Amino acid sequence: MSALPAIEPEEDYYNLANLFPKHTGLPFVIWISVRGNAKHDVRVKVSPSANVQEYGLISVAIRPTIRVMRGSLSADHLALLTAWIELNRATLILYWHSEIDTVQAIASLRPLA
């Protein structure tokens, strides 16, 4: 049996808000959060569905460049995610820094066409 990947202990997983494909235009679920106790910069999480355990989330940094920090994404999915992040980068950063609340963030996020 293989060991599960380590969970980032500074993450407050209960602070994650999930965004379904019908709202993002992406073929997977995006999870956004405020910084909370995280010691790293802005990240989003990705999962194939909303029914995922913490260790199943793919962690993606959005600055200075978009890159997978934990887990893996296909090149096609990373390209789609990159386009969505570029479209919504300002909102994601404001939300991370608690400058807007969840309702404002969700209202501001734009789906891929």
Q: What is the 3-state secondary structure (H, E, C) of 34-94?
A: CCCCCCCCCEEEEECCCCCCHHHCEEEECCCCCEEEECCCCHHHHHHHHHHHHHHHHHHHH
CA distance 78 to 20: 17
CA angle 43, 60, 40 (to 5 degrees): 40
Two structure tokens written together for 87 = 């479209």
State pTM to two decimals.
Answer: 0.85
Q: Confirm whether 75 is domain-assigned.
A: yes
The pLDDT assigned to 100 comes to 97
Q: Confirm whether 44 is domain-assigned.
A: yes
DSSP state of 10: T
Segment of 14-23, 32-41, 101-110 carrying the highest mean pLDDT: 101-110
Q: Confirm whether 60 is domain-assigned.
A: yes
Q: How confident is the model at residue 54 (pLDDT cuts 50, 70, 90)?
A: low
The pLDDT assigned to 12 comes to 56
SS3 107: helix
Q: Confirm whether 109 is domain-assigned.
A: no
Domain extent, residue 66, equals 13-99
| Structural domains counted in the chain | 1
Q: Confirm whether 83 is domain-assigned.
A: yes
Does residue 15 have a pLDDT over 60? yes
Q: Confirm whether 106 is domain-assigned.
A: no
The pLDDT assigned to 11 comes to 52
The pLDDT assigned to 84 comes to 98
